[in-house]
Amino acid sequence: MTALLTRTGTICPHIGPAPRVVHAAAWRPGTLACPACRHLLEPGPLEENTCDRCRTLAPELTPGIAAIGLVLLAFGLCDACADAIDPTPTRPTRKPRR
């Protein structure tokens, strides 16, 4: 979110001041992309096998998405972390805004 407020980092040109759903990735801090520009968030060969919670290299990661307001944050977890936080909600998480 800091990237959106300060305009630092990489933001696709389609994201304007109007609120809309944007995509972010745990392995690309500061990068925000609209649904059409999700390729900006493609993980590199290293990120693709790095757990976003404990930063361990793992052969296979469990992908997950967390909704933070209008930001959909993608992340990948190793088996241990996936078990620890159980990232399979049956419905989208929606937190009330204070």
Interface positions with Zn ion (CB under 5 A): 12, 14, 34, 36-37, 51, 53-54, 78, 81
In angstroms, what is the minimal distance from the CB of 53 to Zn ion?
A: 4
Q: What distance in Å separates the CA atoms of residue 45 and residue 14, rounded to the nearest whole number?
A: 27
For Zn ion, the closer of residues 25 and 78 by Cβ is 78
Rounded to whole angstroms, what are the CA distances from 30 to 10, 73, 75?
6, 11, 14
For Zn ion, the closer of residues 68 and 84 by Cβ is 84
Q: Which residues partner with 33 through β-bridges?
A: 23
In angstroms, what is the minimal distance from the CB of 28 to Zn ion?
A: 14
